[in-house]
Amino acid sequence: MKVLNTIWLTCLAVCLLVLCACNRSDANQQLKQTVPIRFALAQMPLNLDPRYATDAASERVNRLIYQSLVDFDATSNPVPKLATWLMVSPREYHFSLKQPLANFHHHKPLTAYDVKATYDSIITLKDSPQTSEYSNISSIQVKNETLVIFQLKQPDTHFASKLIIGILPKDDIEKKHDFTHHPIGSGPLAFEHWQNKLALKRVRDGQLILFTEVKDPTVRVLKLLRGETDLLQGDLQPELVSYLQTKPDITVKTVAGVNFSYLGLNMQDPLLRQRKVRMAIAHAIDRQSIIDKVMLKSTRAAGAILPPEHYTNAGVALPAYAYNPGLSKQLLLEAGVQLPLKLVYKTSTDAQRVRLATILQAQMAKAGMNLEIRSLDWGTFFEEVKKGNFQLFGLTWVGIKTPDIYAKAFGSQQFPPNGFNRGHYADAELDAMLLAEDWPAVTARIQAQLPYIPLWYEAQFAAFDKNITNYAPKPDGNWDDLATIKRSATISNHAH
Amino acid sequence: MRLFSYAILGLWVLAVVAGYLFQLDPNTINLNVILQGPTTQYWFGADDLGRDILARVLSGVEMSVLVACIVTIVTMIFGVLVGMLAGFYGGRVDSVLMQVTDIFLAFPGILLAIAFAAVLGPGLGNLILALSLTGWVSYARLTRGQTISLRSRQHVLAAESLGAGVPRLLFRHILPLMTSVLVVEAAYSLASVMIAEASLSFLGLGIQAPDASWGAMLRDAVRFMLVAPHYVLIVGACLMSLILAINLAGDYLRDKLDVKREME
């Protein structure tokens, strides 16, 4: 009897221990999810309504709050997200929503009626920057809850890849809900609140993610080191990224980027109209030395807007123009230019942009060019670029996936405000190639004619606390991994 | 302390001359030495573009002193003119001129300079204009007070009764008597204009790249404080030493020119 009692007591003790351990594990898991993951941003999103958002931060957050019909794979081919599609003709597309239907964060199912309402509202909005993108839509018909038909005015074989706007709920569109500040989507993160900080909650497990704005890069780094933030991505000088890489408590991940940096040229300028002058500028820049010394290591020299891995390039990288100041000078003399060639370069006041401009100035001086730098605040600078009030400017194309960028940026019918041909480049031969969608010929022509001077595809990085896992930067700088990010270890007190 | 201030000022003059003699180029970029600490080749280290910090500091002090001198001269001429007219004529002229002066005084000087620089746009010329637009008020106030007290002096009244015109009275009989006060004010003004220039350049509203300016250098240095602390420390120490030396020299100049203190 005594032995039996001892066995019973031992079993009971073991059960209690197991229960306690389970409870502790559950509690720890719960704690991990209730303690927010804090993401420090250089700039907060400005607009959480995907019909209006234009800034990078808003678009990146909106990708997490909303879902679109279509997304892109690693080679930038359009792939189904909410819906599969059938191109009945270049003027008619059928989109079938995937089963089971996705749910909005207010628990209503996302149906074909919501798709129609979203795109109908974009077409009719007068103040949306997206409206012109969808002006080719003639009508949208709903056949049933899962099938929606888009009829186009003009044939467009790339129409499917344009349907990347997050879908909004029909009833809330009709009620003129304020999506800008209180978004309702169907994405992996749901909106919680937005006072000073933007709080999103992961639908799957309730993990809270807090976005805070910390403008100064040094302060962002210090906050990460002190445990006052868990994650930061982009907008840091490469030296600070290297500094973070030396810290044992911080994980830094980098990835080759796809965002294309370039020098824009004004083709109405009598000097820059000459191809030899443009070639001279292209040969005057030592891209590799700039990449090696003042950029992240995974940055790549660029030959075209779309990166080598893009499906239109089939993995073939166009070579960047080689650095050859002697050849530059010779080309300028052949073009009949009196040295030094005086050029005005406009850029924003961003410190890294001014730094790069100063390096360009020094490199181009060796090639007989006298570059005057004018750094303007972002609003003024972008207005000047849009108005064509420049000789040279430096900008970056962010998140470009479709080859129709070539038509928008270089088509002779695409001068602002219709398109983005801000340098007023007109080339009948290129127009014919664009019409034929002969992308290899288009990229080769652009590289030869140089309406842009290609610079590089800037690498992306993310730096986070060592307790953070399941996060990696994306080539276009998106924050998609916030849908899967986790805390791996027990939460320490000092950090929170 | 007096010797210290003169020594620092002398050192700066020597350094600028040496910079010329050794032909230090503040704009030569060497990407291989970016943010390098002090070495035998780069005594103060290299900046974020691999430029010699020593050469840029020397170029910066030239630029700073040039701006300070021009602004001080312009503001002194304008302020003295306004103050003398207000003090000499009194009545409505005094009232109007001093009300305008008070409006300028109502705003913090540096804030007004920032506003002007922002409206005018960045650049050396606009920087000088912005600082001149705000710097004249202290001279006007000071000169007005001095003129009121000197206006009723016997020699002024005698010259007036002998038929001397207003310009002669102002510039031959009143202005020379307030020179010492103005010189002391100018000495302090030099230091404050240098700080204001550095502040505007720090905000990106002053001297533009690639020209060297201490304010712009400090702004760049702060961004790399974690990886290259020598940069911010050296530029900060240079600015502090020069301003301190000018202020101390101003103090001694004031003591020297103060008749009462000399009599004591």
Band the pLDDT of A8: cuts 50, 70, 90.
Answer: low
> Mutate which of B33, B218, B223, B230 to test chain A, going by most A C-beta atoms within 10 A?
B223
**A217 to chain B: closest CA residue:** B223
Q: Identity (one letter) of the amino acid at B153?
A: R
* Helices (H), ranges, chain B: 2-21, 53-89, 91-106, 109-120, 124-135, 137-151, 154-161, 166-168, 179-202, 214-223, 229-257, 259-263
With CA atoms as reference, the chain A residue closest to B123 would be: A374
Residues in B whose CB is inside 8 Å of some CB of A read: 27-29, 31-32, 34-35, 48-50, 122, 204, 208-210, 219-220, 222-228
* Alpha-carbon gap: B113 to the closest alpha carbon of chain A (Å): 18
B122 contacts in chain A (CB < 8 Å): 375
Q: Tell me what pLDDT residue A417 has.
A: 80
The span from the CA of A265 to the CA of A394, in Å, is 9
Confidence of residue A492 (pLDDT cuts 50, 70, 90): very low
**Model pLDDT, residue A496:** 38
pLDDT tens digit sequence for A145-170: 999 999 999 998 889 999 999 999 99
Pick one of 3.10.310.10, 3.40.50.2300, 3.30.1330.60, 3.90.76.10 as the CATH number of A67-174: 3.90.76.10
Q: Is residue B194 part of a domain?
A: yes
Does A239 contact B29 at a Cβ distance shorter than 8 Å?
Answer: no
Nearest residue of chain A to residue B225 (CA atoms): A218
Indicate the pLDDT class of residue A350, thresholds 50, 70 and 90.
confident
Residue B6 lies in a domain: no
| Coil, helix or strand at residue A257 | coil
Query: By CA distance, what is B48's nearest residue in A?
Result: A355
Instruction: Give A287→chain B minimum CA distance, Å.
Output: 12
Taking an 8 Å cut-off on Cβ atoms, the answer to whether B208 and A373 are in contact is: yes
pLDDT category of residue A66 using cuts at 50, 70 and 90 = very high
Interface of A with B in 195-254 (CB under 8 A): 217-218, 221-222, 237, 239-240, 242-243
Residues A367-407 pLDDT 10s: 999 999 888 888 889 899 989 999 999 999 988 888 989 99
- Domain spanning A189-256+462-487: which superfamily? Periplasmic binding protein-like II (3.40.190.10)
Q: Average pLDDT per run of 10 along chain B, which is 264 residues long?
A: 79 80 85 93 93 92 90 95 94 93 85 81 83 90 93 90 91 91 89 89 81 90 93 93 87 76 55
How does strand A231-233 pair with strand A37-41?
parallel
**Tell me: the pLDDT tens digits for A168-205?**
999 999 999 999 999 999 999 999 999 889 999 999 99
CATH code of residue B156: 1.10.3720.10
Identify the pLDDT of residue A143.
93
d(CA B199, CA B118): 13
User: What is the residue range of B157's domain?
Assistant: 63-204
Residues forming a β-bridge with A452: A264
Tell me which CATH homologous superfamily contains domain A260-457. Dipeptide-binding Protein; Domain 3 (3.10.105.10)
Task: Using pLDDT thresholds of 50, 70 and 90, give the confidence band for residue A94.
Answer: very high
Q: What is the pLDDT of residue A128?
A: 83
Q: Does A359 touch chain B (CB under 8 A)?
A: yes
**Is position B255 within any domain?**
no
- Mean per-residue pLDDT, A250-276: 95
Across the interface, do B31 and A217 touch by the CB < 8 Å criterion?
no
- What whole-number distance in Å separates Cα of residue B94 and Cα of residue B76? 18
Cβ-defined contact of A289 to B204 (cutoff 8 Å): no
Interface pTM (ipTM) of the complex?
A: 0.76
Phi, then psi, of A199 in degrees rounded to 5: -110, 125
Please indicate if any CB of chain B lies within 8 Å of the CB of A358.
Answer: yes
B29–A359 CB contact, under 8 Å: yes
CB–CB contacts below 8 A, A to B: 58
If we measure between CA atoms, which residue out of A129, A164, A136, A167 comes closest to residue A150?
Answer: A136
What is the model's pLDDT at position A5?
60
- Kindly list the residues from chain A whose CB atom is less than 8 angstroms away from the CB atom of residue B226: 218, 221-222, 240, 243
Q: Is residue B231 part of a domain?
A: no
Give the range among A453-467, A481-495, B100-114 with minimum mean pLDDT: A481-495
Residues 263-292 of A with CB under 8 A from B: 289-290, 292
Residues in B touching A351 (Cβ below 8 Å) = 219-220, 223
Please report the pLDDT score of residue B170 as a whole number.
92
- CATH 3.90.76.10 occupies which residues in chain A? 67-174
Chain A closest CA to B117's CA: distance in Å?
Answer: 13
Q: Are A455 and A285 in contact (CB under 8 A)?
A: yes
Shortest distance between the Cα of B223 and any Cα of chain A, in A, equals 6
Are B204 and A349 a contacting pair at CB < 8 A? yes
Q: What is the mean pLDDT of residues A20-40?
A: 65
**Which positions ≥6 away from A289 have C-beta within 8 Å?**
A323, B31
pLDDT of residue B118: 78
From chain B, the residues in CB contact with A217 under 8 A are: 223
Neighbours of A349 (CB within 10 A): 14
Domain membership of residue B192 (yes or no) is yes
CA atoms B144, B147, B151, B152: torsion sign: positive
B211 is a domain residue? no
Q: Is residue B130 part of a domain?
A: yes
Does the pLDDT value for residue A494 go beyond 50? no
Q: Do A358 and B209 touch (CB under 8 A)?
A: yes
Q: Name the minimum distance, in Å, from the CA of B62 to any CA of chain A.
A: 21
Q: Is A349 near chain B, with CB under 8 Å? A: yes
Which residue from B minimizes the CA distance to A288?
A: B31
pLDDT at residue A14, as a whole number: 56
- What mean pLDDT, rounded, does chain A reach? 89
